Amino acid sequence: MTRRLVVGVDIGNSTTEASVAAVSGDSAEYLGTALTHTTGVKGTPENTDGAVSAVRRALERAGRTESEVETVLLNEATPVISGLAMETISETIITESTMIGHNPATPGGEGLGVGTTVAIDALAGASGPTIAVVGAGWDFDDVATELNAATERGLEVVAAVLAHDDAVLVVNRLRVPIPVVDEVGAVEKVPLGMRAAVEVAPPGRTIRTLSDSYGLASVFELDPDQTKQVSPVARALTGNRSAVVVRTPSGDVTDRRIPVGTLTLTGAGKTLQVDVDAGAEAIMEVLGRVQPLDDATGEAGTHVGGMLAQVRDTMTDVTGQPAAEIRIRDVLAVDTFVPKEVRGGLAGEVAPENAVALAAMVRTSRSRMQVVADEVAAALGCRAEIGGVEGEMAVRGALTTPGTAVPIAVLDLGGGSTDAALLDRDGVSSAVHVAGAGELVTKLIGSELALDDREQAEAVKRYPLAKVESFFHVRHEDGTVQFFPEPLPSHVFARVVTMTPEGPAPVATRHSVDHVRRVRREAKRKVFAVNAVRALKQVAPGGSLRMLDFVVLLGGSALDFEIPDLIADALAGFGVVCGIGNVHGSEGPRNAVATGLVDAHVAGS
């Protein structure tokens, strides 16, 4: 019996995988695998270069030459293009400089001071309880001298508001300590001659009076109607260590919804509209009513409309289909928040504003894989054929994972889309693609942590966190300490870092390890755990996850250190066995499709 060399090639959204096997009769021996970036959009002639180089690398690893190859098997892949957009849907506006709600790292003194706002150089003419307002250019020594002198004269100075980062310095020099809020950049806008309150909490605590509606009512002697009006102020100050509230005739803090356009969803014979600013839950609810989705459009002139149009345009360029024929087949909306500077704020206050992130996906039925197959055949001088449909081949490859049996479902966690496929007892398979995967997670992490650098967000997604506590040790996110024999580089000292294979890399954030970890896990859960359930429901018999027995995770994101756990948690309630694919008991979650192609070829010949 002669042994023939067969190479299975899986062209995916972001990677192209090749698997070399020596086939004799009905058995296949796997010799080597390789992985390269996919060239061009999946399912287009540009894939040829990537496919050829993956085959060559796999042969090199297997110690074989191109001339020995008999057949190259490609998957039937249809182009999937995804797009992302993010819309901020709320904004906080402070009017009449009513409130200073920023959190300086080092306020001074503690307690609550209620009085009238007076500029520091006008203290001589003031009387009664007074809050000193100190502008830019004042030195801390001079401020302390002035305040001490005023107290000496019998003036009741109850608190102070400073422009510079001087609060602790001033309080340390006062004979009678008072609460002081500092780093108020636009202190000149603080209304003078108004009743105001300054509160500073002890270290490790948050303010109690100004963040409470009745607290504000007591301080400013408000009637019930006025109390209703100030309740947004109290809410905006919750969780701060220090705050200033000035009572002005019509001062207010509002939390406004920004209209960002509508999304029109068509499917199941219905066309429904939903306002994007209604939030992710409302969008997904409307989407659920029009399943299966035929198309989605955004209002022209809005970000969402632009994003959906761009996805369409890209697909037109790739396939040559007219834009009018291209349909958006899935949308995923995720609630997130974006730190934004408050409008009307005096101290550069930052509030977490609500935002909606949208991922959309489009696929066509028009595949051009035959062109790729012909070009691969010409380049390698062998036969190249389309060996099977991606989803079916993935299931086939996944079935070689020890401990699995039909009915089996696979979840391919990719960069742009999450794909699910099912093989039932009768050997019938079905597959779906849903929008939202690794790219969306990176985007959510980047915006919630306000990271400018996409690479950093990607690193936060991929690697566990740690805090560099000295040049010789780090504390990992789970609390364990690791020592190093060689000192760490000085640019990571005292920073939150990602533990990349190249060593610790700093994350440009003031947040703690715990906060960054929470953001990362939440982003992964919102995208992958939600999508896993969504995609599996579409392939499961009768839409019930309880009908599934085995779920195998495949694709690059299945190698992530926590995504498989998050998905397993999400599926645990349905009595499903869920785990990471291990193709042929040795290949891990990669190469399922390439292996499935070879197996199908062997079985068919």
Partner 1 sequence: MTAPTAERTLTLNEVGPAKRASRPDEVVVAVSPAFADPFTKTIVDVPHAEVIRQILAGIEEQGVHARMIKVWDTADLAAVAHTGARLSGSGISIGLLSRGTAMIHQRDLPRLSNLELFPQSPLLDAEVFRRIGSNAAQYAKGESPAPVPTRNDQMARPRWQAKAALLHLKEFECIVAGRKPVEVEPVITRA
Q: How far is the CB of 182 from partner 1 (least distance, A)?
A: 9
Helix (H) or strand (E) segment spanning residue 254: strand 252-257
Q: How far is the CB of 166 from partner 1 (least distance, A)?
A: 7
Relative orientation angle of helices 563-572 and 513-524, to the nearest 10 degrees:
60
CA 48, 83, 449 angle in degrees (round to 5)? 115
Closest to partner 1 by CB, 137 vs 224, is: 137
Q: How far is the CB of 491 from partner 1 (least distance, A)?
A: 9
Closest to partner 1 by CB, 236 vs 465, is: 465
Q: Spell out a b/e string for 382-391, using b for 16 or more CB atoms within 10 Å of the CB, else e.
A: bebbbbbbbb
**Per-position DSSP letters for 256-276, written without gaps between them:** EEPP--EEEEEETTEEEEEEG
Which residues make Cβ contacts (< 8 Å) with residue 472, sequence separation at least 6? Answer: 483, 484, 485, 487, 488
Closest to partner 1 by CB, 188 vs 385, is: 188
Which residues make Cβ contacts (< 8 Å) with residue 374, sequence separation at least 6? Answer: 384
Closest to partner 1 by CB, 125 vs 381, is: 125
**C-beta atoms surrounding 30 within 10 Å:** 20
Q: How far is the CB of 568 from partner 1 (least distance, A)?
A: 34
Q: How far is the CB of 246 from partner 1 (least distance, A)?
A: 18
Closest to partner 1 by CB, 223 vs 486, is: 486
Which residues sit at the interface with partner 1, rule CB under 8 A?
Answer: 105-106, 119-121, 134-142, 165-169, 172, 469-472, 487, 490, 493-496, 508, 510
Q: How far is the CB of 168 from partner 1 (least distance, A)?
A: 5
Here the tokens at position 72 are 């190259």
Closest to partner 1 by CB, 65 vs 470, is: 470
Torsion sign across C-alpha atoms 385, 59, 399, 550: negative
Q: How far is the CB of 458 from partner 1 (least distance, A)?
A: 20
Q: How far is the CB of 178 from partner 1 (least distance, A)?
A: 16
Closest to partner 1 by CB, 106 vs 264, is: 106
CA distance 463 to 474: 15
Here the tokens at position 604 are 């068919």
Closest to partner 1 by CB, 14 vs 106, is: 106
Here the tokens at position 528 are 């992958």
CA distance 157 to 120: 11
Residues 515 and 550 sit within 8 Å (Cβ to Cβ): no
